[in-house]
């Protein structure tokens, strides 16, 4: 009787362990798929760093390839990248922090904060319209392309102007204002581009049919810091997400305004249909789960930063190569996003 009971108990626990192990393997399947993707992709090769985190804790991280192909210096988790247009949400936050203090009115014309602008449209374009690319400005010396607020046209110029508004309101250089926020958040490897702060920045490469051409000079200038000027790491951007999307930087009303769908726009990384755009960030509601995020491209760098609020998951991918062919922009990042969207990680309760 006892022997039979012991054998039955043993078989039961073996069955339980086997099923738990199978469940764990199933739960971890996304990491094996991402590993296979970044190791086996040939056209183009993947060269970058991937991080998935939940509630600020890393679930998956992988650095693959070289920070510099000439010296064969390997990429690491703390390698620094130009994040290009992912810099825009940082500028938006700096504006909103000033708005919280009552120092910036988002619905005021930009002339109020940029008195040096002599163009007539400076009296009609608002800060809000700069933030969501509905301003119509195509060139400081040309008429507006459309009446402010009636259309969407993405570009860097509006965020260059927002950087100047940050300086007007804070009475600080943009880099000083941004880096004070990074320091507060303990984003210790994030800063506005400067040759004097080169630290651990990867070299950017243009990929032409898998022939890599290094970009030895940056397009970033102090005037463009609000649009494309931030250097960061996957680990620091995970810190950023965990603070921004958890109400630790902005008050709820201003955060909700930032991620609110204020205008529709289309971007191939997010699909063929138009989705919502807020302030330097997109709100995607037409996939299997809702998420917010943005992309960045330039100087031989590609960046993707996504946050899935229902599961508290961040996906951050930084590459120090960008393809010459627009058909291949973010190709590996798109495949990684697809793996994640199909995984239990975003759908488990």
User: What does R_g of the chain's alpha carbons equal in angstroms?
Assistant: 23
Please give, one letter per residue, the 3-state secondary structure of the chain: CHHHHHHHHHHHHHHHHHHHHHHHHHHCHHHHHHHHHHHHCECCECCEEEEEEECCEEEEEEEECEEECCCCEECCCCCEEECHHHHHHHHHHHHHHHHHCCCCCCCCEHHHCCCCCCCHHHHCCEHHHHHCCCCCCCCCCCCCCCCCCCCCCCCCHHHHHHHHHHHHHHCCCHHHHHHHHHHHCCCCCCEECCHHHCCCECCEEEEECCEEEEECCCCCCHHHHHHHCEEECHHHHHHHHHHHCCCCCCCHHHHHHHHCCCEEEEEHHHEEEEEEECCCCEEECCCCCCEEEEEEEECCEEEEEEEECCCCEEEEEEECEEECCHHHCCHHHHHHHHHHHCCHHHCCC
Cα 250 → chain centroid: 17
Q: What is the reported pLDDT for 349? A: 56
List of long-range contacts for 18-27, beta carbons under 8 Å, 24+ apart:
26/344, 27/344, 27/345, 27/348
d(CA 23, CA 126): 53
Tokens of 78: 């703390």
Spatial contact of 131 and 263, defined as CB atoms under 8 Å apart: no
Which has the closest alpha carbon to 218: 233, 232, 204? 204
**Ordered domains of the chain (ranges, CATH):** 30-64+79-346 (3.40.710.10)
Q: How far is CA 77 from CA 24, 25, 327, in A?
A: 25, 25, 28
Q: What is the reported pLDDT for 112? A: 98
Residue-by-residue pLDDT tens, the chain, 349 positions: 454 445 444 444 444 444 443 334 344 589 999 999 999 988 889 999 999 999 989 999 999 999 999 999 999 999 999 999 999 999 999 999 999 999 999 999 999 999 999 999 999 999 999 999 999 999 999 999 999 999 999 999 999 999 999 999 999 999 999 999 999 999 999 999 997 776 789 999 999 988 899 987 889 999 999 999 999 999 999 999 999 999 999 999 999 999 999 999 999 999 999 999 999 999 999 898 999 999 999 999 999 999 999 999 999 999 999 999 999 999 999 999 999 999 999 986 5
- 139, exposed or middle or buried, with CB in 10 Å at 0-12, 13-18, 19+? exposed
| pTM of the model as a whole | 0.91
Q: What is the phi/psi pair of residue 45, to 5°?
A: -70, 150
User: What pairing do the DSSP bridges indicate for beta strands 230-232 and 81-82?
Assistant: antiparallel
Q: How far is CA 101 from CA 4, 59, 107, 111, 151, in A?
A: 74, 37, 15, 19, 30
- 261, exposed or middle or buried, with CB in 10 Å at 0-12, 13-18, 19+? middle
């Amino acid at each position: 009787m006892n022997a039979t009971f012991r054998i039955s108990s043993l078989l039961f626990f073996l069955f339980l362990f086997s099923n738990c192990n199978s469940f764990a393997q199933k739960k971890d399947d996304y990491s094996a798929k991402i590993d296979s993707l970044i190791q086996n992709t040939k056209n183009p090769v993947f060269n970058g760093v991937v991080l998935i985190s939940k509630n600020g804790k890393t679930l998956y991280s992988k650095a693959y390839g070289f920070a510099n192909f000439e010296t064969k210096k390997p990429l690491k988790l703390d390698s620094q990248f130009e994040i290009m247009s992912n810099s825009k949400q940082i500028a938006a936050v700096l504006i909103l922090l000033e708005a919280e203090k009552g120092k910036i009115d988002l619905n005021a014309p930009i002339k109020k904060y940029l008195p040096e602008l002599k163009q007539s449209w400076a009296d009609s374009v608002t800060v809000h319209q700069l933030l969501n690319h509905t301003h119509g400005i195509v060139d400081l010396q040309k008429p507006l392309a459309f009446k402010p607020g009636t259309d969407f046209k993405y570009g860097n110029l509006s965020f260059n102007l927002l950087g100047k508004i940050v300086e007007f309101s804070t009475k600080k250089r943009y880099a000083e204002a941004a880096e004070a926020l990074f320091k507060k958040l303990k984003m210790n490897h994030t800063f506005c581009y400067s040759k004097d702060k080169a630290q651990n920045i990867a070299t950017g490469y243009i990929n032409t049919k898998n022939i890599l051409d290094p970009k030895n000079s940056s397009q970033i200038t102090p005037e463009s810091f609000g649009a494309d000027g931030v250097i960061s790491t996957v680990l620091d951007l995970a810190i950023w997400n965990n603070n921004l999307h958890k109400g630790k930087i902005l008050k709820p009303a201003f955060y909700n305004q930032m991620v609110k769908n204020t205008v529709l726009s289309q971007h191939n990384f997010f699909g063929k249909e138009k989705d919502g755009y807020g302030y330097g960030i997109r709100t995607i509601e037409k996939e299997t789960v809702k998420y917010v995020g943005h992309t960045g491209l330039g100087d031989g760098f590609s960046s993707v930063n996504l946050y899935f609020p229902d599961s508290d998951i961040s996906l951050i991918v930084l590459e120090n190569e960008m393809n010459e062919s627009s058909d291949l922009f973010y190709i590996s990042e798109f495949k990684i996003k697809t793996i994640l969207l199909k995984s239990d990680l975003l759908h488990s309760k």
